[in-house]
């Protein structure tokens, strides 16, 4: 039968406990920023895929109904809201006709941040545009002055790029190729300093 030494109870010393707490705190401090960057990237990538899906839906509706459909982007504070729109008189989407009600607004305007916290339209400062040219501004909607992405009944679309930025320095782009109506997703790699296909 084992005997206990007098005055010594089994357990850990305060020094051993402090050592374990210090190691745990150090590992947590290293893991938290990486986890936050990964979460920001996930949200921004999901927002880019959501936007591409919205464009795909508008293209499908335009072909199916033989009428121009699209997305209208309206400045809203430091961001943009978007709404699905449709041509009402077979002459294309026009801002004046959307305002007067001739062309129809199909959905309520929505912000990406409502679905994807911290994500907004914009280009992170210092990031070149998707063509590799230095960005002249941080504006995230590059579709021309009307800011309407129109998709015609034959599947062709307005050419342009929509830039999405996360809460940190995460940057994605949704490019629409006009002749084909094809959508490409791109991600800016900060380490390589260039845009990559997703």
pLDDT tens track for 24-38: 887 777 766 777 788
Residue 36 has what pLDDT? 74
- Whether 113 has a pLDDT exceeding 70, the answer reads yes
3-class DSSP state for residue 177?
Answer: strand
Q: Note the pLDDT tens digit of each residue in 149-197.
A: 999 999 999 999 999 999 888 999 999 998 988 999 999 998 898 999 9
Phi-psi region of 95 (alpha: psi -120 to 50; beta: other; left: phi over 0): alpha
What fold, for 37-197? minor pseudopilin epsh fold (3.55.40)
β-strand partners of 141: 162
């Amino acid at each position: 039968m084992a005997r206990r030494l007098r005055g010594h109870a089994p357990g850990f010393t305060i020094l051993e406990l402090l050592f374990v707490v210090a190691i745990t705190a150090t590992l947590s401090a290293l893991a938290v920023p990486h986890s936050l960057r990964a979460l920001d990237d996930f949200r921004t990538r999901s927002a880019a895929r959501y936007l591409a899906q919205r464009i795909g839906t508008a293209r499908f509706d335009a072909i199916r109904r033989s009428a121009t459909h699209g997305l209208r982007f309206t400045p809203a504070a430091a961001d943009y809201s978007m709404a699905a729109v449709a041509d009402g008189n077979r002459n294309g989407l026009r801002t004046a006709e959307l305002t007067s009600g001739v062309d129809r607004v199909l959905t309520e305007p929505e912000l990406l941040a409502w679905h994807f916290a911290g994500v907004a339209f914009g280009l992170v400062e210092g990031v070149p545009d998707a063509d590799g040219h230095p960005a002249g501004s941080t504006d995230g909607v590059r579709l021309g002055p009307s800011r309407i992405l129109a998709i015609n009944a034959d599947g062709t679309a307005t050419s342009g790029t929509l830039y999405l930025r996360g809460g940190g320095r995460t940057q994605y782009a949704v490019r629409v190729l006009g002749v084909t109506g094809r959508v490409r997703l791109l991600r800016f790699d900060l380490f390589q300093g260039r845009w990559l296909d997703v």
